[in-house]
Chains A and B, each alone.
Chain A
Amino acid sequence: MISQISAVTSINLRSIPQRWGMSLATILSIALVVGVLLGFLAMANGFRATVSGTGSESIAVLLRSGSQAELNSGFGRDTVRLIETAPGVARDEDGAAILSAELYVITDATKRSTGNDASLSLRGVDDMAPRLRENFELVEGRMFAEGSNEIVVGEGVLREFSGFELNSTIRMGPNEWRVVGVFSTGGSVFDSEIWADIGTVQNLYQRGASYQSIRVQLDGETGLTELQDYAENEPRLDLDITTEKEFFAQSAGGLSNLIMYLGWPLAIIMAVGALAGAWNAMYASVDSRVREIATLRTLGFSGFAAFVGTLVESLLLAFIGGLVGALITYFVFDGVSASTMGGSFTQVVFSFAVTIQSVISGVVLALIVGLFGGFFPALRASRVPLLEVHG
C-alpha cells in the first residue's frame, strides 16, 4: 500500500511543472491569504506587546475612581500626601515612599509618515518617574532640569514624529520646549511620550497643584491589597488602584481585539476564495491525468492510492504557499514601526511582530485550504473509470 501511494504521489508531483500556471496561482493565492492573516496578527501582537507587555506586577497605578483613563482623572496635592504615607508603598533606604505623581496633557505633533498632526502624551513628572518604569534608560542627552522648559522624549516619538531631534527647540501650543534627552523604556507605551518637569507643566497648562495619576512601587506581594484597603477606608481618598500590568491590559484590549476580529474573518473569507482556486487547480490536475490514473488502476493500483496521491499534491502546494506567505510577511512586516491611537486619544508607537504562533496559525490555515481544496478532486481521481484507459 505504502509503495503504491508513494508511486502514485511521485507521478503526481512530477506532473506539477506541466501545469505550472495553475500550480503557481494556487501557491501565490494561498500565500496572499496567509500574508493578510499574518499581517493583521503581527499588528495585533505588536500593539499588544507594546501596551501590555511591559506592565509590571509590582507597580500600582492610582487614578481618581471611575475615570478609566489618565486623561479623565484628577486630584490634588493632598491625595498625593496621603499616599506618601500609606501602607503597602515601598520605601527607599531613607524611608521615602517610592512614588511618582504625574500630570498628563495631550499635545499635537507632526507625524513623519503623513505630515499631519496627531496627538501625543506630554507627561509632567519629577525625578522619581524613571524609578517607576522598568527598563528605563536615557539613551541620549540628559534629564530635564527642574523648573525649566526642557523635555526628554521617548524613542518612539523620535522615530514617528518630526522635530524632536536632540537639542532642537519645538513649539507645542503657545510654548517652546528644548529637547535635552532621549529615553527608552524597552518598547513600552512610555516610548511614545514626552516628559517634562511637572511644575512647568502645571504652570503652563494652568493646572495649579493638580495631578492625574500616581505610580507607586508596591511593598511585597501584599502591598497592593494593603494599599487598596487603606484607600477604601480613608474617606479623603477617592481612587481606583490597579497593578500596572492590569491597567495596561485593559487599555490594550480594545484595539488589538478589533484587529484580531477583523484579521481572522478577512483571512477566512479570503481562504474560501483561495480554496476555490486550489480545488480548481486540483481538478485540472486530475483531468489531465485521467488516462494515466486509469492505466495505473488497470495495472492493479488501488483507488485509495490515487486519492492520496492527489491529496498530497494539493497539500504540498498549500504548504509551499503558506510558507511563502509567512516568509514574505516576516521580511516585509516584522519590526516595521507604526503608530495608532491608543487609550486617551494619544498615539502609541509600536512595531509589527510576526510571532512563531501566528506563523503556525498561517501554515495551518494554508493546509486546511489544501486539504479541502484537494479532497473532492482526490475523490474523483479515486473513481476514474477503468475504461478511460482507452482515452
Chain B
Amino acid sequence: MTTKLFGEPIARREDARLIVGKGRYLDDIGHGALGVAFVRSPHANARILDIDVSAAVEVAGVHAIYSYEDLDGAMAQPLPVLIPHPSLTAPRTGYPLANGSVSHVGEPIVMVVADDRYLAEDAAERIVVDYEFRTPVVGVEAAERADSAVHEDIPDNVAARLVQEFGDVDAALLQAPHTVSFTQTIERSASMPLEGKGVHARWDAVDESLRVYTSTQTSTSVRAAIATKLDLSLDRVEVIAPDVGGGFGVKIVHPWPEELLIPWAAIRLGREVKWAEDRREHFVSSAHERGQLQRITAGYDDEGRLLALDAHILHDHGAYTPYGIVVPIITSTQLLGPYRLANYRCQVDSVYTNTVIVTPYRGAGRPQGCFAMERTMDRVADDLGLDRAAVREINLIRADEFPWDNHLIFQDGRPLIYDSGDYPSMLDKLRDLVGWEGFEARRSAAAADGRWLGIGMALYVEGTGVGPYEGGHVQVLPSGKVLVSTGLTSQGQGHETAFAQIVAEELGVPIEDIEVHTGDTRRFAYAVGTFASRAAVMSGNAVALAARAVREKALRIAAEVLEVDAADLDIVDGVVGVRGDPGAVLPLSSVAVLSNPLRYAFDEASRAATQFARFASDDQPPVADDDEPGLEGRDYYSPVRSTFASGAHAVIVEVDPGTCAVTIEKYAVVHDCGRLINPRIVEGQIHGGVAQGVGGALYEVMAYDETGQLQNASFMDFLMPYVSEVPQRIDIGHQETPSPLNPLGIKGAGEAGVIPGSAAIAAALEDALGIRITSMPLGPSQIYDLIRAAQDGTAEMTLNSARRSQEEST
C-alpha cells in the first residue's frame, strides 16, 4: 500500500543536504571567476560631474572598469518598469550604472572587474567621483511637502496616486453615529535573506551561449531580461537558480543591475565573472519595504459595526519604481481583511524619497493594510468601551456568505472575490487558544504584583496564488525514477518535499523515487516565479495535473499489455496492478520502457520489459498520431483569480515597568490555507513569519538620517530578532476551508505568518501600557519616552485605561 502522503507532516527532504553544508549557493559556484566590486553612491541625491579611474587602473589584477559611458545598446536604456499601472503616472527607474545622477546612497556608478573581489575593492577605493549635491528628500512627509524633488522633472514627488473605492464614503461618514480619525506610521524594514543577491556568468564563445546562475526568485524572467538587454536569442541563454539562501521578496525584483552587468562583462571579457553581494551592499542597494503613514477616518454605529472607512496613505516608494505599485495595490485591497464594509475609500500616494527602492517584502503591503484595519477595530472598541474581539466579530463576513465580492480589483488585475473561509470560527478558535476570556483577571492579578500585561489580536485575509500560470513536468524514467520539474524557484520553502508529496500521491509512487527540480530554465522554460504565496497553489496544482497525465498514459499502456480495461488498474508503490488480481502487475519502470518504441536494451530492466512488448500492427506507425514517446506529462495551472487564505493572531506581552523591556508571553495563531499539503512545512512557514512579524514590531528600523544616510547598515545595528527574541512557543490552530478554485483545494501559506505581527503586538502593548500606540516598531527606549510623555500629559491615554483606573478606584 502506498502510504497517504498528501497532508502528512513528513520531514523536509532537502534539510539534511542543506544542514550538513552540501547546499550549493551562488558563491559556491565558479571559484576561478573574476571578481567584481562596485563604486556605489555615498550621497542620496547628487549629480555626477566626473569619474576619475586613473588610480584604479594601476592596481595589478584589474581587468576592466566600466561606467555608464561603456554601456551599449539596450544596456544604456533605463531598467524596465516591470508592472506598469494606469495609476503609476510618473514611473522612474535607474540605469544598470548611474547615468549622470544618483538618487540614493548605494546606487551603482562604476563596476570594477579584477582577478578577485579583494583586488576589485582595492581598485574601487581608488576611484574618485565628483558630485554636485542636491537636497535629499527623506521620509514621506518631506516627500509630500515637496520642498525639493527626488527627480527634477517630478516636482511633487508623486509616482502614483491610487484610489480604491466603493460605496459612498463621505455620505456614510456624515451619517455615522460615531467617527474616529487618527494618523499612524509603520517603519521600513527589509527582506534581509541570509544570502544576499549574487550572479555568476559564463560565456561559451564557441557555442555562443551564456549560462547564468543567479540567486533569484524567478530564473525564467531573468533569462528573458538578459536575452533582451544583451541582444541574445533566448535559446542562447540559460538561467539557473542554485540553492537560494532566502528571498522573502527582494529576489523577485528583476533584472537587478548586476543580473545584466555580470553576463554583459563575461561576454565582453570572455571570462567567467562573479559577484556576490555583501551585507553592506544589500542594505543600501537592494530593496526595503513597509514604510507608510496612514491617515484614517472610520464611521461606526453603537455596536461597533463599521459603516465607512476612509484611508489616505503615504507610501514611501524609495528612489525608483521598477516593480510598479504592487505594494500600494495590495495594501489598499487587503486592508479590508475579513470584514464586511459598505463604504470604503483608500487613496495611496506613492511618493519618491532619496532612499533605497521599495518593493515587496514578505507580506508585501498586507502588514500595513492589516495595521490600518486592525488598529481601527481597536479604536472603535476603545471608543465604545466594547470588547475588542466582540467588535471584530460583529463585523466579520459569515461562513455562508462565500464567494464574497469586495468590488475591487486585486493585484492580479482580477476581481477581489474571497473564494472560501470561515472567519467566525477562526476567531472563536483564537480566543480559546490565547485565553482571551480569562485575561482580564490575569491582568489585574499581574498588575497587583507590579507587572504590566497586555493582550492584542489581529485578523487578516491574504490573497494567494496569483496567476497567470505555472507549469509542471513529470517524467518516469526506465529506471523507475520520477523526475518532477517546475519553473519557479525555491528559497527554502520545502518544494522538494511538498511537490514530491503531491506527485507521490497522484501517481502512486514511493516518495523516495521522486526527484524535484525547480528554477532551472534548462528543465522548464515557462514560469512566473516564487512570490505572493503562490508556489504551492500554482506549481502544486500544475505538477498534480502533470502527474495525472502521466498516470493516465501509464494506465493506458499497461491496460494494453495486461489486456485489461484501464479503469480496473491502479498504481500502488510504483507498480501498476489489476484491482483484485494480485498476479497481474507491471512496474512503472517497465511501462516507461514500453512507452518508447526505441528499445535498445542497455540494461537488465529494459531487457525484462521488452518481454511485454507487443508487435505493433503493420498498418500503424510505432508512435500513434496522438501519442508521444516516453512516459511523461506536462501541464499548466492557470487560475481565474487568486484564492484567499486567512488567519488570526493573538499575543500576550509583558512590559517591565522599570526597564521598559518587552517580552512575549504567549503567541497564538489560527491559520487557514485550505487543504494542507504538509502541516509541518506550513507550521515552519508560520514560525518564520511570526519571527519576521516580531522583528517588524519590536526591532527593525531603517535608520535614515536627514541626509539619506542609512545609519544602521549592518547586522550589528539593524536588529533582526535572534532565536532568543522569537517566542519559544507558538500555539498554532489549523482550520481548513478548501479553495473551490483549484484541483487540490489549497491556498498559499508563505507570507501569512508575518502579516498581523505589528498590529497584534501594537494592540497588546497599548493594552499593557494604556497609552495610545500610533507608531511601530517600538523598542524599550521608545516605550520609556511614551511612558514619560503620558506622565507629563503629552501622550494620549486609551479610554479603556481611564475606565480601568475608575473601576479600581470605586
Answer yes or no: do A and B interact: no
Interface residues in chain A, defined as those with a beta carbon under 8 Å from any beta carbon in chain B: none
Q: Using CB atoms and an 8 Å cutoff, list the residues of chain B in contact with chain A.
A: none
